[in-house]
Amino acid sequence: MLVVTASTGDYIFGAGATVARLVKDGWRVDLVVMGNDEKWSTGATPAQTRLANMQEGRAAAKLLGIRDVVVMDHKSGELGYVSSTEMRSQLFGLIRHVRPRILFIPDPYVSFQADRDLRYVGLMAEEAWGYSGAGTFANELARMGFKPYGAPEIFYYVPGRPYRPGEGGVGRAKFAARDIAETLEVKIHAAQILATRNRAWAMQRVGLLDDVRLQSFVRSYIEELAHTIGSKHGFANGEEFNHVGP
């Protein structure tokens, strides 16, 4: 399985418990981070911010059981200025090398998405999924030995909020929910590791918090999100996706 994310935290908030459950069920999971996370901090330089977020992101991925983390290192917050062809070719290479059975990508079609990086990465990743199996694209990769390959199954995730009416199950996509009771705590602990990002996030919402209150804030947020989603589908706690595939 290959998880695509704009930053080190997006996929955890949107799909962390489902990823942890798939690892528990025996799946190998790899992660590709398109951005460099240089803007999620309070009072640190871009270089310090990038280093802290990447270190914490790798630790969180390890806790979830992710095998490998690949960082493309494009400037976060500015992915709209990066050539989508360049990013798509990079993802072509990973898809053709890893040959995943399942892809997880940000859903670019949800309404009122404040983080434009998520939309750009989601659209690019969807194109890469659709075209990586065709021989008419990325011929340079084929010459290097990376033969065309298309993943048969894809999950679209939304970080940080439930799907709203009309956003789930559109077109080919089927609305899919997962009961995350067994792995909710793993998701919470992975999210709490992202202290640098979380501190900046909390600062925007409730003001600066000490470490203990910050951890409590993250836990409360994820528990409320999981319960809100789960109650829509008959679970105590859940995650939900748009899903295309068998």
Domain span at residue 158 reads 2-244
Residue 9 contacts residue 36 (beta carbons within 8 Å): no
Say yes or no to pLDDT of 28 above 90: yes
For residues 61 and 32, what is the distance between their CA atoms, to the nearest angstrom?
11
Dihedral angle computed from the Cα positions of residues 233, 188, 34 and 59, in that order, rounded to the nearest 10 degrees: -150
Mean pLDDT of 180-207: 93
Higher-pLDDT residue of 138 and 21 is: 21
Lowest-confidence region among 70-74, 81-85, 121-125? 81-85
User: Cβ atoms within 10 A of the Cβ of 203, count?
Assistant: 15
Say yes or no to pLDDT of 85 above 80: yes
At residue 26 the predicted structure's pLDDT band, cuts being 50, 70 and 90, is very high
Say yes or no to pLDDT of 144 above 90: no
- CA–CA–CA angle 152, 179, 56 (5° rounding): 80
Q: What is the pTM of this model?
A: 0.94
Report the pLDDT value the prediction gives residue 234, as an integer from 0 to 100. 96
Structure token pair of residue 240: 């939900």
Q: How much helix, strand and coil, in percent to the nearest 5, is found in the chain? A: 50, 15, 35
Query: Percentage of residues in the chain with pLDDT exceeding 70?
Result: 100
Say yes or no to pLDDT of 94 above 90: yes
Report the pLDDT value the prediction gives residue 155, as an integer from 0 to 100. 97
Lowest-confidence region among 50-64, 123-137, 181-195, 221-235? 123-137
DSSP-based three-state secondary structure for 210: coil
154 strand-pairing partners: 103, 244
Report the pLDDT value the prediction gives residue 199, as an integer from 0 to 100. 93
DSSP-based three-state secondary structure for 157: strand
Mean pLDDT of 81-103: 92
Residue 137 contacts residue 144 (beta carbons within 8 Å): no
| Residue 110 main-chain phi, psi, to 5 deg | -75, 155
Question: Tokens 């298309």 belong to which residue?
Answer: 150
At residue 134 the predicted structure's pLDDT band, cuts being 50, 70 and 90, is confident
176 strand-pairing partners: 241
At residue 135 the predicted structure's pLDDT band, cuts being 50, 70 and 90, is confident
| Residue 182 main-chain phi, psi, to 5 deg | -75, -25
With 0-12 / 13-18 / 19 or more C-beta atoms within 10 angstroms meaning exposed / middle / buried, residue 106 is: buried
Report the pLDDT value the prediction gives residue 193, as an integer from 0 to 100. 97
Residue among 129, 19, 9, 93 at smallest CA distance from 58: 9
Q: How many domains does the chain have?
A: 1
**Please, which residues have CB within 8 angstroms of residue 107's CB and are 6 or more apart in sequence?**
122, 156, 157, 158, 167, 241, 242
Across the chain, mean pLDDT equals 93
CATH of the domain at 237: 3.40.50.10320
Question: Tokens 């999950």 belong to which residue?
Answer: 155
For residues 243 and 150, what is the distance between their CA atoms, to the nearest angstrom?
15
> Positive or negative, the Cα torsion across 60, 108, 27, 35?
negative
Summarised one tens digit per residue, pLDDT across range 206-226 is 887 889 999 999 999 999 999
Report the pLDDT value the prediction gives residue 133, as an integer from 0 to 100. 84
